[in-house]
Each structure stands twice: as structure tokens, then as C-alpha cells.
Structure 1
Amino acid sequence: MSLSVIHYPHPTLRHKSLPLKRVDKQLKAWVEEMFDLMYEHEGVGLAANQVDLPYRLFVMNPTGDSQQRDQEQVVINPVISKAKGQQKGNEGCLSLPGVHADVVRSNAIHLEAYDLSGNLIVADLDGFASRVVQHETDHLDGILFIDRLSDGELADVRHLVHEFEIDFQSRLNTGEAPTEEQVAELWSELEKART
């Protein structure tokens, strides 16, 4: 199964991901593929459900620079707590290419998660890294950045978002896009494999 970035309003983007209980060779291969896709699409983070996988996992590199591999992080089963302050910042999404808007997020957060080797990650993050983690964790809960916009802010990008809806409906009509039922079936199979 080769991965690709899925676009809104693909049903998988609204599914709540299930915690991962084990890491195997296949998952590690998918993680490598996720990093490749993230850089190819000039992103700084990519959640598993953005590539149609049901796992509570995302990859990130706040620099967005594939040469800075030391900045890469694989984040499994993230739990965010101790949110402090607020900051507004411009966000985009690889599942909504070309759509950007200012989103209010917590300025600082506490993150607990696991890496690909099963080591516990405990970090206090602020600024941009905090924003990336919040954005990607939202994905794992089936939340998109457009859900966090005010009515006025959403109205500003609504025409762009609507184009994705029209395109998806067209592909659904021709059988090129999956139905909710097909997505549920795929997720069920994938969940049994690793949860």
C-alpha cells in the first residue's frame, strides 16, 4: 500500500484515530514515506490520517527542511496538557493545499508521547513547535484548522474550501473517491493489525 496525502473532505480526515499499541516494520516504512510526502509537499507536519491510516501518530519537522533531519520527530499517542497563553498564527494544511488562515492556539503546551523506538517523549513546547503539535494532534481527533476559524474568517476561505468539496463529490460520483463505508472497512482492517 503506497501512501498519498488525502484532501478534504475525504472521510478519513474526520475519523478519530486509535492509539497505537505496537510498532512494526511496516509502520516504520510508512513513517519514512510520511516524511518524504511531508517534504515533497513543503509541510512541517503530517498526521497518519492525512495519508489514510487510522493510527494516533504524526511526523514533524518545524524547519520544513529535509536536510535538517536532526529536527525530525515521530510522535505516537500524543497527550497535550498545561496549555498556556494564546497566539494567533497563519496556518495551512497539506489536506487543504492553497488554503491559509490565522488560527488562535495556545502559546505553550506540555506534550507526552512516544517515539518510534518506544521511548517516552516529555516536552514543554512554545511558539511554532507548539503550534505544529497542536495542529497535528487536532488531525488525530478529526479536527481541521478550518474548524477553529470564526465565521468571518471561514467566510474568507469558504470559496476555496468549497472547491475541494465539489472535486471530492465529483470523484465520489465516478467511484474514484471512497465512501464512508469503504473508509470504515479499511480502517477496521488496519486497526486490527496494530492496535
Structure 2
Amino acid sequence: MPLEIVNYPHPTLRFPSRPIKRVDKELRMMAAEMIELMYCHEGVGLAANQVALPLRMFVLNPTGKQGEGEEMVVINPVIQRPKGREPDREGCLSVPGVFGDVIRAKQIQFSGYDLQGTPLNFTCEGFFARVLQHETDHLDGTMFFDRMPEGARKEIDPLLEEFEFEFRSRQAGGTIPSDQSIIKEQAEWLNRYA
């Protein structure tokens, strides 16, 4: 079954993702599919829980353009030693059309692994650091609007309520599984990879 981006308030978006303990052909294929979805939806990053996989993995390309920049698949990311503070506008493929200013660390120490198990360990700053922080937040069940100042968050609350209404209406109509079915499916993924 092809992967698709899930919209807020899908339960997996709030599920703290679990570390991946093994990589197989299927996981590699899912990472490749996530990269295609990211480009198709004009994003610069996509976390596994945005495609209903409760695993600590994300893909990114800060240029957002296929064939330009560098594509990365990151497994089990860790952010340390944040320095400085910098506001900037953010959006999310799981809440299309919603944007807001978020203050994030200007510089971070980042570590994780690629699909081959090669360690990643570097210091970065600016937009690249922002994308890494945004995607790692996803894996912790944190949405970008959770980090917005209260006043700014209140401005987008009506838009988030529309997403909630749409999601629950589709669940009631049977086009989206129930929360219980989604949670059961998450457990199956965790048994395979976490």
C-alpha cells in the first residue's frame, strides 16, 4: 500500500516515535517513497510519523528541489548543544496552508545514522539546522505550532480546528480508520523495527 501524508490531528503525529533497531529492504523502499512524497508536496523534509510510521526516521533536502542540494535519510536523530535563538516562518506538510513564526536554535550539534548505518555527526546552523529541528520535533510528537508564542498560536487556532473537524468527519464516514485501529497498526510497525 503506497504511503501518503497524514494530516493533523492524525494520532501518529502526536506519538513519540521509537528508535529503529534494524534496517531492511522494505524500510529503504519506504524512505525512497518518503523522498518522492516530499518533492511531490513541495516540502524540504518529511518525518516517518507524517506517513503514519511511528519510527525515528526522516528525509530531507533543504533546497526542496529534486536533483539539487543533498538528499538525506536520517535514522534515530539526536540534537544537542543548541546555541542562539532565531525566529523564522514555518509550515508543515501535515497542516498544508498553515504558517507561523517559530523561534529555534540558530546552531545545533546533530547526530544520527544514515540507511547504511554510517554515523552522522556535525554542527550546523541557519535554515538547515531549522529543518533538522522541525523534523526531529515531529518524531517527538511536537508540531511547529506548539512552539509558537501564545498570541500567534491563537491566530491559527481556527485553521487547526478546521483540520480537526475534517479529520473527525472523515473518521465518522469511514474513510479514515478509527484512533484504535491506527494505534493497533502502530504497534505492528514497532514490533517489526523498534
Deviation at 1:106, TM superposition (A): 0.4
Compute the RMSD of aligned alpha carbons: 0.8
Asked if 2 retains the 8 angstrom alpha-carbon contact of 1:83 and 1:110, the reply is yes
What is the number of residues matched between the two proteins?
194
- The percentage of counterpart residues that share the same residue type is 49
Find out whether 1:25 has 2:34 as its counterpart: no
**Counterparts of residues 129-140 of structure 1 (less than 5 Å):** 129-140=128-139
Deviation at 1:112, TM superposition (A): 0.8
2-structure distance, mates of 1:159, 1:54: 28
Which position in structure 1 is the counterpart of 2:84?
85
2-structure distance, mates of 1:14, 1:174: 23
1-structure distance, mates of 2:188, 2:157: 35
**Counterparts of residues 48-87 of structure 1 (less than 5 Å):** 48-68=48-68, 71-87=70-86
2-structure distance, mates of 1:60, 1:101: 20
Which position in structure 1 is the counterpart of 2:141?
142
The amino acid of 1:45's aligned partner reads G
Deviation at 1:15, TM superposition (A): 0.3
The amino acid of 1:96's aligned partner reads V
Deviation at 1:183, TM superposition (A): 1.5
Deviation at 1:94, TM superposition (A): 0.1
Q: Which runs of 4+ in 1 moved over 3 A?
A: none
2-structure distance, mates of 1:150, 1:86: 14
**Counterparts of residues 180-195 of structure 1 (less than 5 Å):** 180-195=179-194
SS of the residue aligned with 2:54? coil
Find out whether 1:40 has 2:58 as its counterpart: no
Deviation at 1:2, TM superposition (A): 1.1
In structure 2, the gaps of 5 or more residues are: none
Q: After superposition, give the CA deviation of every residue in 1:142-181 in whole Å (9 maximum; x if it has no partner).
A: 0000111122101221221111011011011112222221
Which position in structure 2 is the counterpart of 1:158?
157
Deviation at 1:51, TM superposition (A): 0.2
Which position in structure 2 is the counterpart of 1:167?
166
TM-score of the superposed pair, with normalisation by structure 2: 0.98
Range moving further from structure 2, 168-177 or 53-62: 168-177
1-structure distance, mates of 2:28, 2:4: 16
SS of the residue aligned with 2:95? coil
In structure 1, the gaps of 5 or more residues are: none
2-structure distance, mates of 1:85, 1:14: 27
